[in-house]
Amino acid sequence: QVQLVESGGGLVQPGGSLRLSCAASRSIGSASAMGWYRQAPGKQREWVAQITIGGRTDYSDSMKGRCTISRDNAKNTVYLQMNNLGPEDTAVYYCRVRYSEDVYWGQGTQVTVSS
């Protein structure tokens, strides 16, 4: 079993930035992919960004150009830097890690964008 703990969420004004972190209880060096998802109230969970074991990154159309995903294998942590946030980015953000056939989720961190 792998524990994932997200942090870095909070209240930010429109146009602001946040950096989310996801710390894993197991080495992420062998994780085939790590990603971020989000779920807004009343909506389905949606994919935001992914980084593979080879370092390839992909982003959803809604976040492309406004966020950067990165991983620090030495710290077993994946990050999501988000910039120019708007009210539509308000959601619970979840970390997801895949090890071969096993997938793990964190419990989420709330991001609220409001003035």
Q: What is the pLDDT of residue 44?
A: 97
CA 31 – CA 38 distance, rounded (Å): 20
Q: What is the pLDDT of residue 30?
A: 85
Q: How confident is the model at residue 104 (pLDDT cuts 50, 70, 90)?
A: very high
Please write the tens of the pLDDT for every residue from 6-36: 999 999 999 999 999 999 999 888 888 999 9
Instruction: Give strand pairing partners of 22.
Output: 6, 78
CA 39 – CA 94 distance, rounded (Å): 8
Please write the tens of the pLDDT for every residue from 34-54: 999 999 999 999 999 999 999
Q: What is the pLDDT of residue 101?
A: 86
Averaged pLDDT of the chain: 95
CA 67 – CA 25 distance, rounded (Å): 25
